[in-house]
Structure 1
Amino acid sequence: MTTLEDGDMHTLSSELPAMFDGMKLAAVATILYVIVRCLNLKSPTAPPEITYQDTLLSRYLLKSCPMLTKEYIPPLLWGKSGHLQTALYGKMGRVNTPTPCGVRKFLPMQDGATATFDLFEALGDHSTGDDITMVICPGIGNHSEKNYIRTFVDHSQRQGYRCAVLNHLGALPNMELTSPRMFTYGCTWEYAAMVGYIKRAFPQTLLVVVGFSLGGNIVCKFLGENRSNQDRVLCCVSVCQGYSALRAQETFLQWDQCRRLYNFVLADNMKKLILSHRSSLLGMSSSNIGDADLSRLYAATSLMQIDDSIMRKFHGYSSLKEYYEKESCVHYIHKVTVPLLLVNSSDDPLVHQSLLGIPRTLSEKMPNVIFVLTQHGGHLGFFEGAVLFPQPLTWMDKVIVEYTDAICHWEKTRPGCQTTGQQDMNSCLQNTRVTLSG
């Protein structure tokens, strides 16, 4: 039998504090490693990667928009995490959000639905002296009262832009539907009604088309559906959209970047929104939604299940594949001939990297398209700040207005070969692909 002598006990007791100190250091090192990895702290900041054709217009835009070529610097401690950027956008929207004052407009639709949008007048003259209106389409289930929309509208108003913001059908709280239909992934009816109203009410105004996330899909599809939709449109900006619902469908079922979890959260929010209009969607005689569809809705854990049981039936699509094919802008965006800025983030947890080949290829082939891919920003985050606290205005807000200002001045003072719109612009442009990466 082995026994410990007094000397051995003394040696062991003297070594215990050192052992525990080593364990503490190991634990701290592990925690720090996890924090560094989760917050992506080792990732360097860099200018956006820009893909475009070397044309007179693109050279002018890159010279006039320094934010496109300089580093985007997110808040030091958490801004390099796409998840935290996305979570902060989703939970708070923005910080120190202003409250712009607008007027709500109601537009009756042919099927009995009532489209609404909020109209905000400019707070001063635009630097060109022209009358310019931003026609804005928010993200999924969003409206003019969302914080990120209010922040962008206030910033745009102060730069001399009138703003019209679509309220997605069924998204406004405490407003009942007047037909058994809600907004869908790519239905442009309400957005077209808003644009038509603006053109009639302000015959002298020029339009800037802006879409966020799902709204980016809608505005690009709207412009490509009919050439006349591009009349009086100066440019279009799309931020953080996925371009093809059919191709995105598979990626939303994957667990990398926690995409399946985001899918569940978005589906749960969408489910609550649909159920808040249960009486309108089920009670009207023209409804395509039945009790069996409602039962499937209760059991749904993904957006695809909700789209299949509810959303596609608003427009009578026979299958989920047909719904995604017909409502995605990927089949229309190549018909857009006005200047088009497509913005995405590499760490967007909702938009898979495989989908970014669509805007990249488009910008390589079309002289009017610039594709901007930031390294950080998440989904509609793009917060800026020194260490911890973000600034009220985001990189996204500033870039959209900076690009739009540049386009407005280009139209005002563009070279003589560009005097009659898209046909002349295409004939003047060179077809050299250029890719910038930080």
Structure 2
Amino acid sequence: MTTDPLDTYLAYGQRSLTPAPIGEAESAFAGARADIHARIAARIEGLRPRLHEFAVDLYHHPELGFEEHRSVQKIAELLAEEGVETEVGVFGLPTAFVAHAGSEVGDGPHFAVIAEYDALPGVGHACGHNVIAGIAIGAFLALRDVVAETGGRVSLIGTPAEEGGGGKELIIRAGGFDDVDAAGMVHPSVGHEVSPIYGSGTTGVRRIRVAYHGRAAHAAGTPYLGLNALDAVVTAYQGIAQLRQHILPIDRIHGVITNGGSAANVVPELTEAHILVRSSEIDTLKILTQRVVDILEAAALATGTRAEIDLDAEPAYLPLANNIALTKHWARHLTDRGRTVPLKPKVVRQGGPSTDMGNVSQYVPAIHPALGLGGDGTIVPHNAGFADISILPDALNALADAATALGSAAADYLVDADLRTAVADEFVARGGRVRWED
């Protein structure tokens, strides 16, 4: 018996609509000694002026994905000041980098701290990646100072083009995470919000570019000789708009017509659109994408044009799967910094953004908590005002707190074998290592 894809879509989606079960908020695992955490906090406090200077510098010199040459140079310079050698241009990406501390490859657990540093077109660091990089640098340098006592290995992996390009997925494909046991980063959020322990992650996203090829003709004299590519792209857009009311509330489809033709008195022979499809499960992402592709092809059939569909020209971003066992340790140490970590989201998710950290979280156990940079909560990421917030005193405090909590959570992981087992068991129970396959 063949299962209807729509039934599969709804079944998977119902799971995503159901709030995560609530367990104990506090971890049962001891983690690293108190003096190790104190040293991590003190190290980051000592780095605070330099990390702030770094975040401000990136704010003033934003660079787009795969073009972050100056940003990477500044990171390498900062690390060199601390006696750390950085390998730049790794994994086949000129603006990817890696730095290591601790044991040799294969000797003990390996935790990767993830850095992002690309900006957005027109609005600069409106997603706070200048702060993300500062958090990662601080956490890595603090861990470097204690890794001889925790054992294991810590790496700082610089991942370009999160805002579009999928640097982390490209690094995965190049084997950059093959020897990593767990990974973590922290993302800025609005106001003073802190992500809950039992969050529901982000959506995955696939990008579709479509071009409709028709036949030009004089729009007044001989329109009957033409095949209207504008009719095709408009029909497709309207079909997608009609689909929106029949998708799960956690899913999103949005897009723009990037080329509507060249002249009003010519039957358009070429039009183009860019569409994003988002869903919170890998299977629903595949099914929903196929529904959109069906609409795009139907629009061509209806207008006698030809659809040229480019699916996943950039790597798909997979839904984020935060490792709860490890997130509890982040929450423990952030609480020690005086910030309240909610147990669960206030409301059931209604869609959300996407990140290629989702790909990492499907490949190794990972965490991607969020911490607000300040402000009144009305200025959100991807708004130019959010970039301005990222260099204010509240943001510097958030940077230091996030770096301390991330470094301490990583130290707990490196020290505590029972915690590592719990992290791994949770990862396996969720499905284990997943690679994107269409």
| TM superposition score category, shorter chain reference | 0.3 to 0.5
TM-score (norm 2): 0.35
**Which has the larger Rg?**
1
